[in-house]
Amino acid sequence: MSLKAIKPGSSVTKHKLFRTYCSSMYGCQLWSLDDSSVNDLCTAWRKGLRRISSVPYNTHGNILYGLSGDLPIYDEICKRSLHFIATCLHCSCDLIVFFVACHGITCARGTSLFGRNITTCSARYNFTVSDFLLGTVDVNAVVLCWTLMMQ
Protein backbone atom coordinates (compact mmCIF):
# COMPACT_ATOMS: atom_id res chain seq x y z
CA MET A 1 0.00 0.00 0.00
CA SER A 2 1.48 3.33 -1.00
CA LEU A 3 1.43 6.36 1.25
CA LYS A 4 -0.72 8.22 -1.29
CA ALA A 5 -3.48 5.63 -0.86
CA ILE A 6 -3.67 6.24 2.91
CA LYS A 7 -6.08 8.91 4.09
CA PRO A 8 -4.46 11.53 6.36
CA GLY A 9 -6.77 10.94 9.36
CA SER A 10 -7.05 7.17 9.10
CA SER A 11 -6.04 4.83 11.89
CA VAL A 12 -3.50 3.23 9.54
CA THR A 13 -1.74 6.59 9.22
CA LYS A 14 -1.88 7.20 12.96
CA HIS A 15 -0.48 3.74 13.67
CA LYS A 16 2.30 4.17 11.10
CA LEU A 17 3.28 7.53 12.65
CA PHE A 18 3.06 6.10 16.17
CA ARG A 19 5.34 3.19 15.26
CA THR A 20 7.78 5.54 13.53
CA TYR A 21 8.05 8.13 16.30
CA CYS A 22 7.24 6.18 19.47
CA SER A 23 8.59 2.68 18.88
CA SER A 24 12.22 3.07 17.94
CA MET A 25 13.51 2.34 21.48
CA TYR A 26 17.17 2.89 20.54
CA GLY A 27 19.44 1.41 23.18
CA CYS A 28 16.73 -0.64 24.89
CA GLN A 29 19.04 -3.68 24.63
CA LEU A 30 20.91 -2.28 27.61
CA TRP A 31 17.90 -1.55 29.81
CA SER A 32 17.34 -3.56 32.95
CA LEU A 33 14.16 -5.53 32.22
CA ASP A 34 13.26 -5.84 35.90
CA ASP A 35 13.30 -2.07 36.45
CA SER A 36 9.91 -0.49 37.22
CA SER A 37 10.55 2.38 34.78
CA VAL A 38 10.40 -0.12 31.89
CA ASN A 39 6.94 -1.12 33.13
CA ASP A 40 5.96 2.57 33.31
CA LEU A 41 7.11 3.06 29.72
CA CYS A 42 5.08 0.04 28.56
CA THR A 43 1.99 1.39 30.33
CA ALA A 44 2.37 4.80 28.68
CA TRP A 45 2.97 3.15 25.31
CA ARG A 46 -0.24 1.09 25.62
CA LYS A 47 -2.17 4.24 26.56
CA GLY A 48 -0.87 5.93 23.42
CA LEU A 49 -1.77 2.91 21.30
CA ARG A 50 -5.29 2.93 22.75
CA ARG A 51 -5.60 6.62 21.98
CA ILE A 52 -4.56 6.40 18.34
CA SER A 53 -6.65 3.24 17.85
CA SER A 54 -9.75 5.02 19.22
CA VAL A 55 -10.62 2.17 21.57
CA PRO A 56 -11.85 2.53 25.18
CA TYR A 57 -9.22 3.14 27.88
CA ASN A 58 -9.98 -0.22 29.50
CA THR A 59 -9.41 -2.34 26.36
CA HIS A 60 -7.22 -5.29 27.31
CA GLY A 61 -3.64 -5.15 26.06
CA ASN A 62 -3.90 -8.49 24.24
CA ILE A 63 -6.82 -7.19 22.17
CA LEU A 64 -4.93 -3.98 21.56
CA TYR A 65 -1.85 -5.79 20.24
CA GLY A 66 -4.06 -8.05 18.12
CA LEU A 67 -5.69 -5.03 16.50
CA SER A 68 -2.37 -3.32 15.81
CA GLY A 69 -0.54 -6.45 14.66
CA ASP A 70 2.44 -5.65 16.89
CA LEU A 71 4.26 -7.55 19.58
CA PRO A 72 3.64 -6.17 23.07
CA ILE A 73 6.25 -3.49 23.67
CA TYR A 74 7.76 -5.32 26.67
CA ASP A 75 8.21 -8.45 24.55
CA GLU A 76 9.82 -6.38 21.81
CA ILE A 77 12.28 -4.94 24.36
CA CYS A 78 13.00 -8.44 25.73
CA LYS A 79 13.57 -9.77 22.21
CA ARG A 80 16.03 -6.99 21.43
CA SER A 81 17.87 -7.57 24.70
CA LEU A 82 18.15 -11.32 24.03
CA HIS A 83 19.41 -10.68 20.49
CA PHE A 84 22.06 -8.32 21.84
CA ILE A 85 23.24 -10.83 24.44
CA ALA A 86 23.31 -13.61 21.83
CA THR A 87 25.36 -11.36 19.54
CA CYS A 88 27.82 -10.72 22.37
CA LEU A 89 28.08 -14.48 23.03
CA HIS A 90 28.97 -15.09 19.37
CA CYS A 91 31.33 -12.14 19.00
CA SER A 92 34.78 -12.65 17.48
CA CYS A 93 36.39 -10.86 20.44
CA ASP A 94 37.14 -13.31 23.26
CA LEU A 95 37.18 -10.49 25.81
CA ILE A 96 33.51 -9.73 25.13
CA VAL A 97 32.49 -13.39 24.94
CA PHE A 98 34.14 -14.64 28.13
CA PHE A 99 34.47 -11.66 30.44
CA VAL A 100 31.36 -9.67 29.57
CA ALA A 101 28.74 -12.11 28.32
CA CYS A 102 29.61 -15.49 29.85
CA HIS A 103 30.79 -14.10 33.18
CA GLY A 104 27.75 -11.83 33.43
CA ILE A 105 25.34 -14.67 32.70
CA THR A 106 26.94 -17.47 34.71
CA CYS A 107 28.93 -16.00 37.60
CA ALA A 108 27.46 -12.54 38.23
CA ARG A 109 23.86 -13.31 37.31
CA GLY A 110 22.37 -11.28 40.18
CA THR A 111 24.50 -8.17 39.71
CA SER A 112 25.14 -8.15 35.96
CA LEU A 113 22.71 -6.56 33.51
CA PHE A 114 23.13 -9.55 31.18
CA GLY A 115 22.51 -12.00 34.02
CA ARG A 116 19.40 -10.23 35.32
CA ASN A 117 17.93 -9.85 31.83
CA ILE A 118 18.56 -13.51 30.96
CA THR A 119 16.96 -14.57 34.25
CA THR A 120 13.92 -12.37 33.61
CA CYS A 121 13.50 -13.61 30.04
CA SER A 122 14.07 -17.27 30.85
CA ALA A 123 11.36 -17.14 33.51
CA ARG A 124 8.96 -15.29 31.20
CA TYR A 125 9.52 -17.37 28.07
CA ASN A 126 10.23 -20.72 29.75
CA PHE A 127 13.72 -21.59 28.54
CA THR A 128 16.83 -22.44 30.51
CA VAL A 129 19.91 -20.27 30.69
CA SER A 130 21.98 -23.31 29.68
CA ASP A 131 19.98 -23.71 26.48
CA PHE A 132 20.50 -20.03 25.70
CA LEU A 133 24.25 -20.32 26.28
CA LEU A 134 24.39 -23.37 23.99
CA GLY A 135 22.55 -21.43 21.30
CA THR A 136 19.57 -23.79 21.12
CA VAL A 137 17.04 -21.04 21.86
CA ASP A 138 15.49 -19.28 18.84
CA VAL A 139 14.66 -15.90 20.35
CA ASN A 140 12.16 -14.85 17.69
CA ALA A 141 10.23 -18.13 17.89
CA VAL A 142 10.18 -18.20 21.70
CA VAL A 143 8.90 -14.62 22.05
CA LEU A 144 6.34 -14.98 19.25
CA CYS A 145 4.99 -18.32 20.54
CA TRP A 146 4.67 -16.96 24.08
CA THR A 147 2.89 -13.85 22.82
CA LEU A 148 0.46 -15.88 20.71
CA MET A 149 -0.30 -18.19 23.65
CA MET A 150 -1.10 -15.21 25.87
CA GLN A 151 -3.60 -13.76 23.38
Instruction: Note the pLDDT tens digit of each residue in 59-117.
Output: 887 788 877 888 889 999 999 999 999 999 889 998 888 888 888 888 888 889 999 99
More confident residue, 53 or 114: 114
CA–CA separation, 94 and 98 (whole Å) = 6
Q: Which whole number is the average pLDDT over 51-59?
A: 86
5-9, 10-14, 32-36, 55-59: range with lowest mean pLDDT? 5-9
Average of per-residue pLDDT across 134-140: 86
Nearest to 105 by CA among 126, 125, 121, 124: 121
CA angle 107, 132, 98 (to 5 degrees): 45
Beta-carbon neighbour count of residue 143 at 10 Å?
22
